[in-house]
Chains A and B, each alone.
Chain A
Amino acid sequence: MAEATLTDRAPAQIRRGYWRDVWLRLRRNRLATAGLAYVILLVLVALFAPRVLHTDPIVQDLEASKQPPSLQHPFGTDLYGRDIFARVVHGTRIALIVGSIATLVAIAIGVTLGGIAGFFGGWIDHLTIFFYSVVATFPGLLFILALTNALPPAGEPRLSKVYLAIGLSSWVGMCRLTRNLFRSFREQEYVLAARALGAGPLRIVFVHMVPNMMGFIVVALAGGFAGAIAAEAGISFLGFGVTPPNPSWGVMVSEGRSYLQSCWWMIVCPGVATLLAVFSFNLLADGLRDAVDPRHETL
């Protein structure tokens, strides 16, 4: 048997899996790592801070109204004397819940529909493209507002409808992505090789196509999170989202709007919180995109 020559050696002798590879490439990207670190911080804050922090975000203390940042109130207080730091911290939880539920809804609809369209092709594909192209023409914010009003009332007033509405309005990107991934993966040589071996459609989809798509879907997920957080803040700002006593960042910015001249902290603190959250999710998504698909990295 012909022995492998010196030139025919494997480039690396390290044994590692796909996700470990993605992680190593992601870690090389400083901005993305910073984004990931902040995202992890947000998750920890959302999970534990409300229990550790004893300041109530809703109880009013009118004597402490509109106080600037101090040791006692690091982010100052709002019109009703509520501690803005506590409200921003509790708002993190709302932002992340909106992000999770909206992205899950978008993934459930988008990936299923896109997968079916991309895998079967033909008229099913044409119909799906037509359908999502129509949905894509609706102006985003108006569509969410319309949905919020149209959906039947749910347990917690409005809030859960907002999650759903954001999800229902943002599945188009996910659907298009999945559809295109299925279309292009169908022609990949390893998929053709599996077909030539006699692999059935289930094996082809779940052994060969989906595992190779997960990276792209995770990227879309991170991006979707950013979009959902921004959308929730926008809707709450307009007064259609989270109902006021609850500490949503959008609501807080909206309340602070009238005091921009005198009490800057009322709008800057929740505003910066929103900005950083959206920014870090976007950084993470961009970093993941390069880490998942190194061949498409900008050279």
Chain B
Amino acid sequence: MSLPLLEMHDIAKWFPITSGLLQLHTGDIRAVDGVSLTVHRGETLGLVGESGCGKSTLGRVAVKLMEPTRGHVRFDGQPVDRLKGMELMAFRRRAQIVFQDPYGSLNRRMTAGAIVGEGLHIHRLARRSQVRDRAAELLQRVGLADTDVARYPHEFSGGQRQRIGIARALAVSPELIVCDEPVSALDVSIQAQIIELLRDLQRELNLSYLFIAHDLAVVRHISHRVAVMYLGRLCEEAPRDVLYDEPLHPYTRVLLAAVPEPDPKVPLRPQALPGEVPSPANPPPGCRFSPRCPVAIDVCRREQPQWRELAPGHFVACHVAG
């Protein structure tokens, strides 16, 4: 395959824990601890994991809102770490992010037109007099009315606000959009509409998405490949249908079992995991999932599993699988 658009190699992001009067460094929250992934042009990589597993941190590292503690990010073959000035601005145009919270992600003091027009303004993509018209076009493109430019965020519903957030990202004609749980805060019926919109835009503009979500059902309809994350590490990554049909990692299996079937005849069979997610400040030795894993053996508690390719494109980090 051609050169990937986004390439993240062995990314770690640790947040220092300090305590006491002198702010002594007493440990680290290992939000992300050695994750590698790639996103190709026109492709959607779904990234799934429960709250606090580090998926949002990874998304923020991808668009350089945070610097990784270790590892490096390449965008279109170019290292992103040392970008400055004009090069950084060029990168900002090409990689955008859409956030989860439809309330917190829009500045409530700005009109929809000003919010969407900001990127045009910053990157001088339109003359001052044309910004408003261009913003109106963008709003129409995401399914709002052109007259909505003059309205404020609180005048819109959650789904409409999320559309404004998408229009803001689209304004600078990006190639990659990190979607950080863009539908998690919305009603199910509206989730489907937003996902449909994102798919339309992808087809039309050849966009690449890193689509972050906490449940596998949402990701299924939009992703080409899906990666599953647990406590700062990847467990499994596979082409979409492979992952849903033949999951190899025990954690993926548990997650899939938790997805309700839209068929009343199929009985619910949720498998509750024993225990809690360990603290990312003090992760267990060996496989991070081992304390809760139903099939763990001795070696799982001692050694970290290798990232193995068990079938073409199907990677898994598990001693037991395969």
Interface residues of A (CB under 8 A from B): 1-5, 7-18, 21, 126, 188-190, 192-199, 203, 207-208, 211-212
Contacts and interface: CB of A to CB of B under 8 A. Distances in A.
Contacts of B265: none
Interface string B99-130: 11100111111100000001100110000000
Contacts of B165: 193
Given A10-B160, A211-B107, 15 more contacts: A1-B141, A1-B197, A2-B196, A5-B190, A9-B157, A13-B155, A15-B155, A189-B100, A190-B106, A192-B60, A192-B99, A194-B107, A196-B65, A197-B123, A198-B119
B190 A7 contact: yes
Interface in B10-42: 23
B63 interface: yes
B151 interface: yes
A15 B122 contact: no
Contacts of A193: 97, 99, 105, 165, 168
B219 interface: no
Nearest to A209: B107
B93 A198 contact: yes
A212 to B, nearest CB: 6
A11 B100 CA distance: 20
Contact of A212 (B65, B95, B109, B144): B109
Contact of B193 (A5, A190, A207): A5
Interface string B131-170: 0000000000101100000111011110110000100100
A2 B191 CA distance: 12
Contacts of B143: 1-4
A12 B109 CA distance: 17
A2 B192 CA distance: 10
A17 B160 CA distance: 18
A193 B153 CA distance: 15
B58 interface: no
Choose among B109, B119, B144, B165 the residue with the greatest number of A CB atoms under 10 Å from its CB. Answer: B109
26 contacts: A1-B141, A1-B143, A4-B160, A7-B189, A7-B190, A8-B157, A11-B154, A11-B155, A13-B155, A15-B152, A18-B152, A189-B99, A189-B101, A192-B65, A195-B65, A196-B95, A197-B123, A197-B168, A197-B172, A198-B119, A203-B122, A207-B110, A208-B107, A211-B109, A212-B107, A212-B109
Contact of B118 (A16, A21, A189, A197): A197
Contact of B159 (A4, A15, A197, A208): A4
Choose among B118, B168, B200 the residue with the greatest number of A CB atoms under 10 Å from its CB. Answer: B118
B122 A190 contact: no
Interface of B: 23, 60, 63, 65, 88-89, 92-93, 95-97, 99-101, 104-110, 118-119, 122-123, 141, 143-144, 150-152, 154-157, 159-160, 165, 168, 172, 187, 189-190, 193, 196-197, 200
Given A5-B189, A198-B122, A15 B104 contact: no
Contacts of B172: 197
Contact of B105 (A11, A21, A189, A198): A189
Given A17-B152, A18-B109, A194 B157 contact: no
Choose among A16, A17, A198 the residue with the greatest number of B CB atoms under 10 Å from its CB. Answer: A198
B173 to A, nearest CB: 12
Contacts of A21: 154
B231 to A, nearest CB: 23
B71 to A, nearest CB: 20
A148 to B, nearest CB: 34
Nearest to B187: A7
Contacts of A198: 88-89, 92-93, 119, 122-123
Contacts of B88: 198
B104 A188 contact: yes
Ranked 3 nearest A-B pairs via Cβ: A198-B92, A189-B105, A189-B99
Contacts of B156: 10
Contacts of A195: 65
Contacts of B157: 4, 8-11
Nearest to B64: A196
A199 to B, nearest CB: 6
A211 to B, nearest CB: 4
Choose among B95, B96, B156 the residue with the greatest number of A CB atoms under 10 Å from its CB. Answer: B156
A3 B88 CA distance: 37
Given A7-B189, A196-B65, A12 B159 contact: no
